[in-house]
Chain A
Amino acid sequence: DAGVIQSPRHEVTEMGQEVTLRCKPISGHNSLFWYRQTMMRGLELLIYFNNNVPIDDSGMPEDRFSAKMPNASFSTLKIQPSEPRDSAVYFCASSKQGPGTSGRGRYNEQFFGPGTRLTVL
């Protein structure tokens, strides 16, 4: 298995431009997570999908951010318009949520992608 795939790995853009980050979760996983990591704020959960449906987007900083998951194998995180303060590493993670998530085993183990380093000038 190739693991979680993210693209691009690095993105440099100018303020005001639209940025689209892409994620392909591990095949068979039904939950997908977008995180943002900065030195100041650490690793923050932005949004979480289960079976392609957004469950919790309370971490999305503002309306400039949007995320979609049109099918089980693809998700995007879009920033429009981008600002310098959006500069961060964005991680996508996926997991396989089984019935009774409080059970033992590897439930809830999240597998992270390599991240996209975004720089907004």
Chain B
Amino acid sequence: DAKTTQPPSMDCAEGRAANLPCNHSTISGNEYVYWYRQIHSQGPQYIIHGLKNNETNEMASLIITEDRKSSTLILPHATLRDTAVYYCIVRVTGNQFYFGTGTSLTVIP
């Protein structure tokens, strides 16, 4: 199963775009990239996922490089409520998700 590498923490000014990187250099051709986030004391929440094309939904955009070895989650206009730990997960065989340590994003007023 492909592993992911994320920076442990990042800051972002309120109203600015937050760009969260993830490296997954050993990803295989049929593995998707998923992003979840966990706001303090709550269970993780799904954000977005993709295979090789860029994806956008009401929460975020996901940019996957052409070689699929890395991706970036973009929160276009970060708010204080976006302060959370963000997990980048490459889907393993079956349906198990293995969450790493994620990136702790702090949105600063």
- Chain A residues in the interface with B (C-beta under 8 A): 4, 31, 33, 35, 42-45, 48, 50, 55-56, 91, 93, 95, 97, 101-102, 108-115
Contacts and interface: CB of A to CB of B under 8 A. Distances in A.
Nearest to B98: A45
Contacts of B30: 102
B101 A42 contact: yes
Majority secondary structure, A binding face: strand
A113 B42 CA distance: 8
B95 A42 contact: no
Contact of B96 (A48, A109, A115): A48
Contact of B95 (A4, A91, A97): A97
Nearest to A97: B95
Interface of B: 30, 32, 34, 36, 38, 41-46, 49, 87, 91, 94-102
A120 to B, nearest CB: 20
Given A108-B49, A109-B46, A101 B101 contact: no
B52 to A, nearest CB: 12
B64 to A, nearest CB: 14
A21 B25 CA distance: 38
Contact of A113 (B36, B43, B95, B98): B43
B42 A108 contact: no
